[in-house]
Each structure stands twice: as C-alpha cells, then as structure tokens.
Chains A and B, each alone.
Chain A
Amino acid sequence: MPRGVLTRSQGGPPRPTDVFLLWSKIGVKSFGGGQAVQFYAFEHIVNELKWLTVDEWAQLWGLSQIVPGVNVIAVCALTGLRVAGLAGSLAALAGLMAPSVAATILISAAYTQIAQFAGVHAALRGMFAAVVGAALVLNWRVGRPIVKAARARGRIALAASVAIPVVAAAIVAEQWVPVVDVLLSGAALMSALWIQKPH
C-alpha cells in the first residue's frame, strides 16, 4: 500500500477508509499470529501515525484481555472505534478479517487439492509437532504472570493457579465432562479466591 494513503489524513482525524486500509495492511503482513498483529498495529497506530497514545493503547489492550474470543479482534475493533467511531470500528474489522480469512480459505482449498499425496501428510505431521511446541510456549507466557500474581495472594491461590491447568488437562484428556464446565469451574474457583483482599 502506498504510504501517502496513510499520511494524508494525519492533518485531520482518520476516516474509516484510512482505518480499513491500515488494518488490512497490518493483517496481511502479520505472519505468526496475534503477537505479530499486535506488534505491527502498535508500530503503525501509536508510533508512526500517533492515532492513539501509549496509555490509550494500554487501555484498549487491557480491555481486549477480558472480553471473550480472539484478543486481537477486540483490539482491532476498539482502535477503529476510538479514532473513527462505529463506522471506523467496522472498517477496522473488515480490514483485518477480509484478507486474512480469504488467505486462510485459499490455503485450505489448495491443501485439499494436494492432501492425497503422502509427502504432504509427512510435512504436515512435522509442522504440527512444531505447532504444539509453539502452543506450549504461548500458554506458558500467558499463564506464568497469573501464577506469579496468585503467589502474591498466598498459598491457596498459588496452589489453585497451578492445579487448575493440570486438572483441566486431565479432565479434558479423559473426556469426563463437557469442556465448558471445566473452563467455567476454573474461572469460578479463581474468581472466588480473587475476591478476598490480598494480604
């Protein structure tokens, strides 16, 4: 995308079109999941275009953590909302999702065409082992700060924060109860422990 499209609106407030173009650019070049998306979004929106301050960004990011689903989608919608209203929010979403969804569908379609070859399965098997490794790292990164926060609240909170993922894994592996019940039980337990004042 030509730089001029983005810099032109720097004089006035960004329009929904600017928001759309920026987010499609962020979406298309973000290989490596949500972290890549957040990295590029911060680079462009805060550092380069100064549509939002660092504080405003931190606020959006915090909110994105407590709403359900993919955090980056929430960040995207919120940046659009803050800089160009509801239309801006829809424009941001369309910008992020349309190219990425299209690319995902194209790759899936291409995959179904070549799926019958044994080599493809062998390559996929290697890739999947790497995906599981990456997932372990990502879960560790989101889980560790929570365990640390729990430790500051005392032994019971610490024990719960370690036990919840382990017990959840065991229950889900054995398929004893619906996954949703497992997730809600973990959430309810931590919520109950968190209500007490930290010492």
Chain B
Amino acid sequence: MAGNLLFFLLLLKASFLSSGGLANLPSVHQDLISRQWAHEGQFVEALAIGQLAPGPTGLWVVALGYLARGPSGALLAAGAITIPPLLALPMDRLYRRLANHRAVEGFVFGLILAAAGSVMAVLAEALRSYGVDLATVLIFTASVVLVGRRILPRGFILLLSAAVGFAVWVPR
C-alpha cells in the first residue's frame, strides 16, 4: 500500500510539473524505471494504447498504471492526472491579472519548451531500444508528414503503421 501511495505521488508530481498530455512522460519515466516499477516496453505499450483510446492523450498514464500495477494502478493514475488541472477552478477569477504578468507567461513558455525537448529525448530512446531500421524511419517520416499536414485522422495513421509493422517485423 505504501507503494501505491508513492506511485500516486510520483505521477502527481510529474503532472503538476507538466503542461499538456505528454509532458509528464520524462519525469514518470525516470521515477518508475529507476525503481523498476515499470520497464521501457511498458512505456511504449502505454503510449500506443493512449493514442488508440478515445479522450485526451494524457490518458496514456492510465494505460501505464494498468500495465504496471493492474486496475488499481490505472485508477491511481487517473486521479493523479485529474487533480493538477483543477487548479484552474480557483484561478478562474484571478486569471486576467495573472495571465498578463510577464513572469508567469515566461515561466509557462520555458516549461513547455523544456518539456518538448525532454519528451522527444525519452521517445527517441524508447524507439532506439527497439532498434531503428529502414521501416522505422519510413513509418516515422510518413507519420510526421501525415499528421503535420493533417492528411489522415490520427487513429487511421496508427492502424496503418500497425499493419506495416505487422507485415515487416513479424517473425516467420
């Protein structure tokens, strides 16, 4: 049970220091891997499931909670990502003054930029752990173009990539 509480608090900390659904990834990754509460493969699985499921991308943590600790882990994760955004409720009235404060704006911008770099570093490492070959590069590039130009819905791109992965990498 002490493990559950710490698990919850680690996810809560990561969520409090993030902006956007994926920005908690680097912190969660570092904390759970170092304690051996989750392994690299589970992050990959959870991120894929998070994209497949409806709702915000931030729910990838719920999938990770399930894979690492079962249903209770999933519910703890859901709680941990729901609480921090609720700060918006008491701030609703203060907001106009606060948002125009330059220091606050700069702080949020810096947080977003640092998180963007950190997220890509963690994702690149996870991708490398699989081994990067020609098919990986092609799927990655196609995804950048299709998502970037909004050519296909994201769910469709994921299913297509799954089919390509199945065709290329399944052992015969």
Complex CA–CA separation, A150 to B105 (angstroms): 11
- B163 → chain A closest CB, angstroms: 7
- Residues of chain B within 8 A (CB-CB) of A32 are 153-155
- Residues of chain A within 8 A (CB-CB) of B119 are 135, 139
Complex CA–CA separation, A100 to B60 (angstroms): 11
Contact at B165–A129, with CB atoms within 8 Å? yes
Contacts across chains A and B counted by CB atoms under 8 Å: 372
User: How many residues from B make CB contacts under 8 Å with A?
Assistant: 106
Dominant secondary structure of chain A at its interface with chain B? helix
Known A-B contacts A33-B51, A71-B20; the reply to A149 vs B109 at CB < 8 A is: yes
- Residues of chain B within 8 A (CB-CB) of A109 are 66
Contact at B112–A146, with CB atoms within 8 Å? yes
A101 at the interface (CB under 8 A from B): yes
User: How many residues from A make CB contacts under 8 Å with B?
Assistant: 100
A127 at the interface (CB under 8 A from B): yes
Contact at B147–A67, with CB atoms within 8 Å? no
Contact with B along A61-103 (1 / 0, CB 8 A): 0111111111111100110011000100100010011011101
- B44 → chain A closest CB, angstroms: 5
Contact at B118–A179, with CB atoms within 8 Å? yes
A170 at the interface (CB under 8 A from B): yes
Complex CA–CA separation, A178 to B126 (angstroms): 18
Q: Determine which of A34, A103, A121, A191 lies in contact with B103 in the assembled complex, contact meaning CB atoms within 8 Å.
A: A191
Of residues 170 through 198 on chain A, the ones whose CB sits less than 8 Å from some CB of chain B are 170, 172-173, 175, 178-180, 182-195
A168 at the interface (CB under 8 A from B): yes
Of residues 21 through 65 on chain B, the ones whose CB sits less than 8 Å from some CB of chain A are 21-22, 24, 26-27, 29-30, 44-59, 62-63
A104 at the interface (CB under 8 A from B): yes
Q: Can you spell out 17 A-B residue pairs with CB atoms less than 8 angstroms apart? A: A28-B54, A67-B87, A70-B21, A71-B19, A72-B21, A107-B52, A122-B165, A132-B140, A134-B51, A138-B22, A138-B147, A142-B112, A149-B109, A168-B114, A183-B17, A184-B17, A188-B107
The 8 closest A-B CB pairs, nearest first, are A126-B165, A194-B106, A100-B55, A190-B110, A133-B143, A186-B114, A165-B117, A70-B58
Residues of A within 8 A of B (CB): 27-34, 36-37, 59, 62-74, 77-78, 81-82, 86, 89, 93, 96-97, 99-101, 103-105, 107-109, 111-112, 115, 118-119, 121-140, 142-143, 146, 149-150, 161, 164-170, 172-173, 175, 178-180, 182-195
